[in-house]
Amino acid sequence: MELNIALLKGDGIGPEIVDSAVAVLEKTAAKFGHKFSFTPYLIGGCAIDETGIPLPQETVDGCLASDSVLLGAVGGPKWDDQPGNNRPEKALLGIRSALGLFTNLRPAKLYPALRAASPLKDEIVGKGFDIMIVRELTGGIYFGDRGYRNGKYGQEAYDTEAYSVTEIERIGRVAFGTAMKRSKRVCSIDKANVLESSRLWRKTMHRLAEEYPEVEYSDMFVDNAAMQLVRDPKQFDVIVTSNMFGDILSDESSQITGSIGMLASASLGETSRGMYEPIHGSAPDIAGQNKANPIATILSGAMMLRYSFGLSAEADAIENAVDKVLDAGHRTADLMGSSEGTPLTCTEMTEKIIEVL
């Protein structure tokens, strides 16, 4: 296959981890006889520095013209004083929306080799867990009406959560479809005891559930879900939830797997073009020091091969290489305690994975 991949390296550790994923993708292409071309575009703080805005039109056009997009991370203290609509994070929302990526898949599974890094007790983890968070990505409070107005106590700021049946149905179908390929359980998470938008969410999910009789459906309030994730994560298979709840619960899910440096994500829409990125941020504190864990981005590359291009053998090869390297005891700093010897650098970890490939 010949594929054009847009690279949005972004800020902080973004460039290092994207370079790692590109090296792994190139090795995979060579091994399986594909040709991948990579074109970088600016996004986030680096785009503000160069062009004055976080998401230049050239970046949007470049992504739209590519077969898929690999993203590092955006943001950092340097751009904290930017006004709300010109912050690096705004570019992330802008590109998700411009590419129509309403689905965000965030798998959280416990790697047996990283068991020690999980803060959960043995009796809670048992034989491990494997959760797929299906987060709605282009609606809800992230995109709702916002601004300033005069309120009861003077000037106030507001943001609005709004969901249409159409938006709920399309993310719901992705969740049920995903569950059909896994252990056939969907838990929809909302705050229907308080929010009107959640009541519509729940009603719509219930209606969809009837179309998928093989799937065991349940719903849960988000506060309870936050508790259940650390009390008994094994109970979850597919979780489907709104943009903001998904943002929060996916960070929690990553922490119970041991490290946020391990978790990949896929953002998908109606076409095969997706955007793939680690769920962690730009980690400005370790940027440029070759200390970052590249695995989440490397695994995002594997997700791209699987979800955008149907190259499952290639994706398996990358995932197996990561498993083997972890099983052999190799660790970046985030995956080890302070007394366990010298961690691998970002480039060393990348080389180990490429060696196994």
Residues at the site binding Mg ion, with contacts judged by CB under 5 A: 247
> How many beta carbons lie within 10 A of that of residue 214, not counting itself?
8
Looking at the chain, how many residues does it have?
357
Closest distance of CB 279 from ligand IPM, Å: 6
251 assigned to active site: yes
Give 91 or 357: the residue with its C-beta nearer to ligand IPM.
Answer: 91
232 assigned to active site: no
Instruction: Using alpha carbons, select from 126, 94, 95, 96 the residue that is nearest to residue 110.
Output: 126
By CB under 6 A, the count of residues binding ligand IPM is: 4
* Per-residue binding letters, 80-119, with ligand IPM (x by CB under 6 A): ---------x--x---------------------------
49 assigned to active site: no
Residue 131 lies near ligand IPM (rule: CB under 6 A):
no
Which H or E element spans position 346? Answer: helix 346-356
Which H or E element spans position 307? Answer: helix 295-307
191 assigned to active site: yes
The β-bridge partners of 130 are 109
Residue 252 lies near ligand IPM (rule: CB under 6 A):
no
Give 28 or 255: the residue with its C-beta nearer to ligand IPM.
Answer: 255
User: Using CA atoms, how far apart are residues 118 and 122, in angstroms rounded to an integer?
Assistant: 10
Q: Which does 232 bind (CB under 5 to 8 A by kind): Mg ion, ligand IPM, none?
A: none
Give 139 or 325: the residue with its C-beta nearer to ligand IPM.
Answer: 139
Residue 130 lies near ligand IPM (rule: CB under 6 A):
no
**Sign (positive or negative) of CA dihedral 82, 86, 91, 92:** positive
Closest distance of CB 307 from Mg ion, Å: 20
Pairing status of strand 103-109 against strand 35-40: unpaired
Closest distance of CB 67 from Mg ion, Å: 26
- Characterise 346 by phi-psi region: left (phi > 0), alpha (psi -120 to 50), beta (else): alpha
Q: Which does 131 bind (CB under 5 to 8 A by kind): ligand IPM, Mg ion, none?
A: none
Give 247 or 277: the residue with its C-beta nearer to Mg ion.
Answer: 247
Can you list the positions of beta strands (E) in 77-232? 103-109, 130-136, 146-151, 154-159, 185-190, 216-221
Instruction: Using alpha carbons, select from 56, 60, 38 the residue that is nearest to residue 46.
Output: 56
Q: Which does 13 bind (CB under 5 to 8 A by kind): ligand IPM, Mg ion, none?
A: none
Give the three-state DSSP class for 104. Answer: strand
User: Using CA atoms, how far apart are residues 300 and 158, in angstroms rounded to an integer?
Assistant: 34
Active-site option among 232, 251, 323, 324: 251
Closest distance of CB 76 from Mg ion, Å: 15
Give 67 or 247: the residue with its C-beta nearer to Mg ion.
Answer: 247
Tokens of 128: 């491990």
- 269, 103, 89, 195: CA torsion to nearest 10: 130
Closest distance of CB 251 from Mg ion, Å: 6
Residue 247 lies near ligand IPM (rule: CB under 6 A):
yes
In the list 13, 23, 117, 279, the residue contacting ligand IPM (rule: CB under 6 A) is 279
Closest distance of CB 215 from ligand IPM, Å: 26
Active-site option among 223, 285, 316, 327: 223
Residue 136 lies near ligand IPM (rule: CB under 6 A):
no
Residue 11 lies near ligand IPM (rule: CB under 6 A):
no
User: Using CA atoms, how far apart are residues 286 and 120, in angstroms rounded to an integer?
Assistant: 26
Q: Which does 89 bind (CB under 5 to 8 A by kind): ligand IPM, Mg ion, none?
A: ligand IPM
Instruction: Provide CB contacts within 8 A for 348, sequence distance 6+.
Output: none
Pairing status of strand 264-268 against strand 130-136: unpaired
In 223-247, which positions are buried (b, 16+ CB within 10 angstroms) versus exposed (e)? Answer: eebbeebeeebeebbbbbbbbbbbb
Active-site option among 9, 90, 191, 352: 191
Closest distance of CB 31 from ligand IPM, Å: 31
Binding positions for ligand IPM, rule: CB under 6 A: 89, 92, 247, 279
Active site residues: 142, 191, 223, 247, 251
